[in-house]
Chain A
Amino acid sequence: MKNNINLQSLHSMACQMRGEIIEIAHNSDAMHIGSCLSSLDIILTLYHSVLSFKPEEPEWKDRDRFILSKGHASLALYVVLASRGFFPKELLHTFNRTDSFLTEHPVRGNVHGIEASTGSLGHGPGIGLGMALAAKISGNKYRSFVLMSDGECNEGTVWEAVLLAPVQKLGNLIFIVDNNGWQATGRCDDIMHLNPLADKFKTFGWNSFEVDGHNFEELLNIFHSIPVDSEKPTAIIAHTVKGKGVSFMEGDNNWHYRIPTADDVTRAKAELGLE
Chain B
Amino acid sequence: MRDSCSRELTCLARSDPRIIILSGDIGNHMFDGFKAEFPDRFYNCGVAEANMISVAAGLALSGYRPFVYTFAAFDLTRCYEQVRIDVCFQNLPVVIIGLGGGLTYAPLGPTHYICEDISILRCLPNMTIVCPADQAEVMASLRSSLDHHGPMYIRINKKNEPCIYTGEPDFSLGRAQLIQDGNDVCIITTGVLLSEVIRAARILEERNISACVVHFHTIKPVDEIMLREVFSRFSVVVSVEEHTLPGGLGGMIAEWMIDNRIKSSDLIRIGTGDYFLTHCLSQKEARDHFGISADLIAGKIADGLNK
Contact = CB atoms under 8 A, between A and B. Distances in A.
B54 A163 contact: no
B62 A129 contact: no
Nearest to A67: B58
B90 to A, nearest CB: 5
Contacts of B55: 126-127, 129-130, 133, 161, 164
Contacts of B62: 130-131, 134-135, 138
Q: Which one of B48, B63, B89 has the highest number of Cβ atoms from chain A below 10 Å of its Cβ?
A: B48
Contact of B46 (A127, A129, A144, A164): A164
Contacts of A126: 50-55, 57-58, 82, 86
Contacts of A128: 58
Nearest to A162: B51
Given A116-B57, A126-B55, A131-B58, A160 B50 contact: yes
Contacts of A133: 43, 55, 58-59
Given A130-B56, A164-B46, A125 B61 contact: no
Contact of B40 (A108, A137, A156): A137
Interface residues of A, number: 28
Contact of A127 (B48, B61, B81): B61
A51 to B, nearest CB: 16
A230 interface: no
A133 B40 CA distance: 10
Q: Which one of B20, B41, B62 has the highest number of Cβ atoms from chain A below 10 Å of its Cβ?
A: B62
A120 interface: yes
A72 to B, nearest CB: 14
Nearest to A137: B40
Chain B interface extent, by class: 20 to 34
A130 B58 contact: yes
A133 B66 CA distance: 12
A168 B54 CA distance: 16
A163 B57 CA distance: 18
Interface string B274-298: 0000000000000000000000000
B45 interface: yes
A128 B54 CA distance: 8
Nearest to A144: B58
Interface in A141-171: 144, 156-157, 160-161, 163-164, 168
A138 B61 CA distance: 13
Contacts of A94: none
Q: Which one of B41, B46, B59, B81 has the highest number of Cβ atoms from chain A below 10 Å of its Cβ?
A: B59
A116 B60 CA distance: 11
B125 to A, nearest CB: 13
B267 to A, nearest CB: 37
A123 interface: yes
A170 to B, nearest CB: 11
B85 interface: yes
Given A131-B58, A134-B59, A120 B51 contact: no
B64 interface: yes
Contacts of B63: 134, 138
Interface in B9-42: 20, 40-41
Given A156-B50, A160-B51, A164-B46, A108 B57 contact: no
A68 B229 CA distance: 49
B214 to A, nearest CB: 38
24 contacts: A116-B86, A116-B90, A123-B82, A123-B86, A126-B50, A126-B54, A126-B57, A126-B58, A126-B82, A126-B86, A127-B57, A127-B86, A129-B51, A133-B59, A134-B58, A134-B63, A137-B41, A137-B64, A138-B62, A156-B50, A157-B51, A160-B51, A164-B45, A164-B48
Interface of A: 108, 115-117, 119-120, 123, 125-135, 137-138, 144, 156-157, 160-161, 163-164, 168
Closest A-B pairs by Cβ, 6 of them = A130-B58, A126-B54, A134-B62, A160-B51, A160-B48, A130-B55
